[in-house]
């Protein structure tokens, strides 16, 4: 151990040392000196960590700071440590003066302004005569992102969180439409800030169970991602260290140390947020907040990928693990290359310091002679002799505008493009099961999980629709009491077999009877009930959907159509006005309201 390393180790553990019995310290340092650390760590199993158990409470970063202040301070300066914040003049460097952004394709204008220390985003539109058609303005409640790539912004409507239609992009040092808006997937202040997005960008959200974007007050117990995201809830560890309780063994099993976990369990700590895949299927009764570091990710959510080759000119966000598994570094080390092999989550380096740090990481396996480029050529990179510059260049992100991320395929020749399926040894026609249990490398997903995965992936990749339908049909028969399977199957039947509405109606009703809280299921079933002539049942279903999600626009449109068909133009108009109250830019609602008003006048 070098003098510098010893000094750093002593500084970071000074308070902890005071609480640990001398014989345990002696044993721990002896293990380090004798080179036994690797044996001890690799032998650790996830089940030994007490805080990986359900019910152990989260305590927040400040409790960790008491003993780990250097790590605390370093981490707060990383992108994860700045993942979510409340707007204030100290954290909006992107805003120096009033911003006006006009999008001709959408015909809308956006503005960013600050009034009395609060940030506001607004959207407006003019008609063909240049007169104001509508305008809506919202105070920004939360800033999402550290600013390394950019920042997005959340507003609050009632108890629901929505994304602002505009974001700040560091790559262009300017503003543009938020992800998903340019392609027309979303419009206005109507994109829900769903549980998955929010859980990965925040420390500890407090969602209302069974809703897509409604949260308790306050919405977040802890704002930014913190220590416990990787180390697990700290209740037991903090209590025992404050009480000076003796350690049960040389390893403190009251708190997870990811570096001591078995390989895949270790990767799952990072994959919980950095591995999106093309389909994610939650286990029955689970939420994303149920995952605990030190346990398999697949015990909470199964992740699948479409076996498509990544584009030569871009990467997909949240595909780090997929990229890494295409690298020779991964295959040649028998999958023993981990995120934390190269990354220290506690610090974030930049520029020449980062280049030198990662070069040293490369040289732990490679040698200087491994590089085939002449020394003079290697000196032309900026910074000089930069391994990452050539083998892990920044590439544009296909699903986030104006952004670039590091290519983790670690290609010997940057123009290589190994297909993902070939790298994983999978068939090119099937979804790839990416969260297999570590002890079962040949494991297959259960029917429920596979059916729901194909259903989700088919929303983006039509090639999976036929197989997805077949799997759902089989799962619906074998799992008649599974709420999610029945809901998905009913929604598919609604579209796939329009000539047999009774079949879809029966399955959707079964899903509700089994406990489905889905507003989409209720809205689709309401349409079918209305077609059957059961107006009362349809109205009840629409109202249930609206009560569960006051911002689910399809339910309002369906209810307005029901009123119109019942010749109740006034109720239809009032229903459409409710849409415009929370979404004044909704042109379809405005046209429908004009038609309803015209019908009433006639």
Structure tokens at 563: 């009123």
Name residue, tokens 């871009």: 314
Domain range for 59 is 1-82+225-257
Query: Is there a domain that residue 510 lies in?
Result: yes
- Number of domains forming the structure of the chain: 3
Asked if the model's pLDDT at residue 254 lies above 90, the reply is yes
* Domain's final residue, options 176, 194, 212: 194
Asked if the model's pLDDT at residue 427 lies above 90, the reply is no
Q: What does the DSSP assignment read for 59-84? A: --HHHHHTT-HHHHHHHHTSTGGGSE
> Are residues 26 and 123 both part of a single domain?
no
Asked if the model's pLDDT at residue 47 lies above 70, the reply is no
> Are residues 23 and 123 both part of a single domain?
no
> Is the CB of residue 525 less than 8 Å from the CB of residue 541?
yes
Q: Which pLDDT score is estimated for 313? A: 55
Q: b/e string for 226-237 if b means 16 or more Cβ within 10 A?
A: bbbbbbbbbbbb
Name residue, tokens 């700590």: 269
SS (H, E, C) 117-135: CEEEEEEEEECCCCCEEEE
Structure tokens at 420: 């993902």
> Is the CB of residue 51 less than 8 Å from the CB of residue 234?
yes
Mean pLDDT lowest for which of 135-144, 424-433, 550-559?
424-433
> Is the CB of residue 359 less than 8 Å from the CB of residue 386?
yes
Using alpha carbons only, give the angle 8, 12, 14 rounded to the nearest 5 degrees.
Answer: 110
* Domain's final residue, options 172, 194, 216: 194
* Domain's final residue, options 151, 178, 194: 194
Query: Is there a domain that residue 217 lies in?
Result: no
Asked if the model's pLDDT at residue 589 lies above 60, the reply is yes
> Are residues 19 and 111 both part of a single domain?
no
Q: What is the mean pLDDT of residues 158-174?
A: 94
CA atoms within 13 A on the CB side of 535: 9
**Which of residues 598 and 180 earns the better pLDDT score?**
180
> Are residues 451 and 597 both part of a single domain?
yes
Query: Is there a domain that residue 411 lies in?
Result: no
> Are residues 504 and 585 both part of a single domain?
yes
Three-state secondary-structure class, residue 367: coil
Mean pLDDT lowest for which of 75-84, 421-430, 460-469, 568-577?
421-430
Summary mean pLDDT of the chain: 86
> Is the CB of residue 289 less than 8 Å from the CB of residue 205?
yes
CB atoms closer than 10 angstroms to residue 41: 15
> Are residues 69 and 128 both part of a single domain?
no
Q: Which residues contact 565 (CB under 8 A, 6 or more apart)?
A: 530
Per-residue pLDDT reduced to its tens digit, 204-227: 999 999 999 999 999 999 999 999
The pTM of this model reads 0.86
> Are residues 36 and 182 both part of a single domain?
no
> Is the CB of residue 448 less than 8 Å from the CB of residue 283?
no
Asked if the model's pLDDT at residue 167 lies above 90, the reply is yes
């Amino acid at each position: 151990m070098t003098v510098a390393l010893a000094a750093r180790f002593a500084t970071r553990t000074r308070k902890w040392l005071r609480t640990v019995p001398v014989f345990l310290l002696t044993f721990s340092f002896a293990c380090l000196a004798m080179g036994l650390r690797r044996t001890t760590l690799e032998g650790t199993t996830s089940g030994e960590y007490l805080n990986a158990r359900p019910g152990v409470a989260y305590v927040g970063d400040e409790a960790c700071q008491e003993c780990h202040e250097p790590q605390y301070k370093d981490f707060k300066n990383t992108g994860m440590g700045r993942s979510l914040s409340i707007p204030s003049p100290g954290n909006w460097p992107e805003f120096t003066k009033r911003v006006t952004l006009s999008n001709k394709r959408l015909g809308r204008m956006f503005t960013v302004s600050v009034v009395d220390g609060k940030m506001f985003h607004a959207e407006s539109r003019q008609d063909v005569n240049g007169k104001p058609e509508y305008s809506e303005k919202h105070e920004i409640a939360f800033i999402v992102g550290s600013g390394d790539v950019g920042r997005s912004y959340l507003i609050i409507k009632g108890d629901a969180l929505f994304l602002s239609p505009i974001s700040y992009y560091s790559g262009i040092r300017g503003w543009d439409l938020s992800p998903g808006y340019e392609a027309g997937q979303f419009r206005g202040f109507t994109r829900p800030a769903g549980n998955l997005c929010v859980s990965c960008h925040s420390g500890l959200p407090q969602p209302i169970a069974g809703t897509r974007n409604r949260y308790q007050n306050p919405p977040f117990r802890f704002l930014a991602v913190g220590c416990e995201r990787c180390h697990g809830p700290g209740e037991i560890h903090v209590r025992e260290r404050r009480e000076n309780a003796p350690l049960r063994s040389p390893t403190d099993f009251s708190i997870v140390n990811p570096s001591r976990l078995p390989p895949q369990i270790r990767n799952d700590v990072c994959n919980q947020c950095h591995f999106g895949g093309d389909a994610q299927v939650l286990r029955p009764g689970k939420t994303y907040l149920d995952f605990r570091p030190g346990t398999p990710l697949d015990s909470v959510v199964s992740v699948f990928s479409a076996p498509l080759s990544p584009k030569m000119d871009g990467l997909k966000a949240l595909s780090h693990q997929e990229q890494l598994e295409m690298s020779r570094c991964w295959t040649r080390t028998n999958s023993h290359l981990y995120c934390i092999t190269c990354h220290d989550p506690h610090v974030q380096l930049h520029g020449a310091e980062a280049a030198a740090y990662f070069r040293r990481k490369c040289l732990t396996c490679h040698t200087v002679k491994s590089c085939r480029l002449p020394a003079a050529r290697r000196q032309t990179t900026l910074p000089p002799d930069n391994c990452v510059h050539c083998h892990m260049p920044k590439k544009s992100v296909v699903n986030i505008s104006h952004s670039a991320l590091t290519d983790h395929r670690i290609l010997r020749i940057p123009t290589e493009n190994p297909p993902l399926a070939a790298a994983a040894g999978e068939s090119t026609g099937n979804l790839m099961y990416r969260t297999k249990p570590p002890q079962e490398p040949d494991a297959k997903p259960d029917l429920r999980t596979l059916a729901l995965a194909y259903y989700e992936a088919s929303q983006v990749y039509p090639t999976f629709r036929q197989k997805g339908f077949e799997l759902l049909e089989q799962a619906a028969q074998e799992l008649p009491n599974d709420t999610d399977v029945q809901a998905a199957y009913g929604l598919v039947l609604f579209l796939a077999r329009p000539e047999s509405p009774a079949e879809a109606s029966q399955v959707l009703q079964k899903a509700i009877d089994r406990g489905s809280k889905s507003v989409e299921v209720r809205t689709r079933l309401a349409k079918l009930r209305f077609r059957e002539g059961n107006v009362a049942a349809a109205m009840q279903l629409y109202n249930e959907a609206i009560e569960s999600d006051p911002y689910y626009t399809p339910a309002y449109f369906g209810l307005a159509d029901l009123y119109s068909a019942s010749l109740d133009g006034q109720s239809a108009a009032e229903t459409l006005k409710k849409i415009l109250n929370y979404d004044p830019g909704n042109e379809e609602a405005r046209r429908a309201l004009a038609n309803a008003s015209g019908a009433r006048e006639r």
